[in-house]
């Protein structure tokens, strides 16, 4: 495939400057992961953002790049929840009308919090075709701007601020593990680290039940999985059916590989965060810890490189019933 050029460091740093006052520079929190010995392991807790996930970064940057006239006509997006909240919060900050298309099956807590930011919510069937089609129709009817969840340079540049922060705080990171759905976060972090000159091993992490990005990386072309497959995973934040085209190009050029993890591993990791690390983490946020445990055990084709490891915690928007289950889930010995 013809590889797309990476965003420049100037692009990414300008994007961070645009959103600096609207997002939190989340810290790197040391973790005492069982079995890791003296290894230095850090969580990058994007669950501590105002909306409970990293998605506010890309959404805020997209709205910052829009013209005043376009903002006045409003925005429309589609999302299973975290991008919905990001767009709703960013629109609230700018005083912009927002409509969000949320598919059936999304956690109620994410719907409620999207409404709390003042956005209008419309439901649809849980397929990419229905989500995109419904959002496009409403945007056209209103003359509003469609804010893509992940496949857009402005979104990727906003998410890349996570990678710039990681490099600012830990220039000698040896391994960086990032969950992946549509690829905006992984692509943005990888672009930021590579343009800063980082030699860290960057690994994407997916559920085995929704491993379309892993397949796309292996084949070199974007592969779409049916909705009935990707919706099987408990990690609702990565139920996208395919990588974005732009994101795939960046990932293909910048990422070292992928690790896939099973459902019990995801829930065990999220439960450990809740019980032992005192962090409220949704199942998607537990993906990277689950992958780290696999790497510690020597499973799969990759090995941890000597040096510090960063685990991206993507979000903490978890339904109360799920949180109760995680709080009492027996942890592996």
Say what the pLDDT of residue 186 is: 98
Q: What are phi and psi of 32, to 5 degrees?
A: -100, 80
- Euclidean distance between CA atoms 198 and 173, whole angstroms: 8
CA dihedral 257, 258, 259, 262 (to 10 degrees): -170
H helix and E strand count, the chain: 14, 10
Enter the pTM of the model: 0.94
Q: What is the mean pLDDT of each run of 10 residues along the chain (333 residues)?
A: 69 97 97 96 97 96 97 93 92 95 86 93 88 93 94 96 98 98 96 97 98 97 94 93 94 96 98 98 97 93 96 95 96 86
Q: Which domains does the chain have, with CATH numbers?
A: 9-53+152-328 (3.40.50.1100), 56-146 (3.40.50.1100)
3-class secondary-structure state, position 255: coil
Q: What is the pLDDT of residue 81?
A: 80
238 burial class (0-12, 13-18, 19+ CB within 10 angstroms)? buried
- Given this model, what pLDDT does residue 80 score? 77
Q: What whole-number distance in Å separates Cα of residue 174 and Cα of residue 259?
A: 16
The residue among 57, 77, 170, 150 whose CA lies nearest residue 119 is 77
Q: How far apart are CA 89 and CA 101, in angstroms?
A: 15
State the catalytic residues: 55, 80
Strand partners, 146: 76
């Amino acid at each position: 495939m013809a590889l797309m050029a990476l965003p420049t460091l100037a692009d990414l740093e300008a994007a961070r400057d645009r959103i600096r006052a609207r997002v939190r520079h989340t810290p790197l929190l040391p973790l005492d992961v069982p079995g890791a010995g003296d290894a230095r392991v850090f969580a990058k807790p994007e669950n501590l953002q105002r909306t409970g996930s990293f998605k506010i970064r890309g959404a805020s940057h997209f709205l910052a790049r829009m013209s005043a006239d376009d903002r006045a006509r409003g925005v429309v997006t589609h999302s299973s929840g975290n991008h919905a909240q990001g767009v709703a919060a960013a629109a609230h900050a700018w005083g912009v009308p927002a409509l969000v298309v949320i598919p059936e099956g999304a956690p109620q807590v994410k719907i409620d919090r999207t409404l709390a930011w003042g956005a209008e919510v419309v439901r649809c069937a849980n397929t990419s075709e229905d989500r995109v089609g419904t959002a496009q129709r409403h945007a056209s009817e209103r003359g509003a701007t469609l804010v893509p969840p992940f496949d857009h340079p402005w979104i990727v540049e906003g998410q890349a601020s996570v990678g710039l922060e990681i490099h600012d705080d830990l220039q000698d990171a040896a391994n960086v593990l990032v969950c992946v759905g549509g690829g905006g976060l992984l692509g943005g972090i990888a672009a930021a680290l590579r343009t800063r000159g980082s030699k860290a091993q960057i690994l994407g992490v997916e559920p085995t039940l929704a491993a379309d990005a892993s397949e796309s990386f292996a084949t070199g072309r974007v592969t779409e999985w049916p909705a009935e497959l990707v919706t099987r995973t408990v990690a609702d934040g990565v139920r996208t059916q395919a990588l974005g085209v732009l994101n795939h190009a960046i990932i293909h050029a910048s990422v070292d590989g992928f690790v896939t993890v099973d459902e019990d591993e995801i829930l065990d990791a999220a439960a450990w965060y809740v019980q032992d690390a005192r962090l409220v983490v949704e199942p998607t946020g537990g993906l990277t810890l689950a992958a780290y445990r696999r790497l510690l055990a020597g499973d799969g084709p990759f090995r941890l490189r000597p040096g510090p490891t960063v685990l991206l915690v993507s979000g903490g928007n978890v339904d109360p019933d799920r949180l109760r289950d995680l709080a009492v889930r027996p942890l592996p010995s």
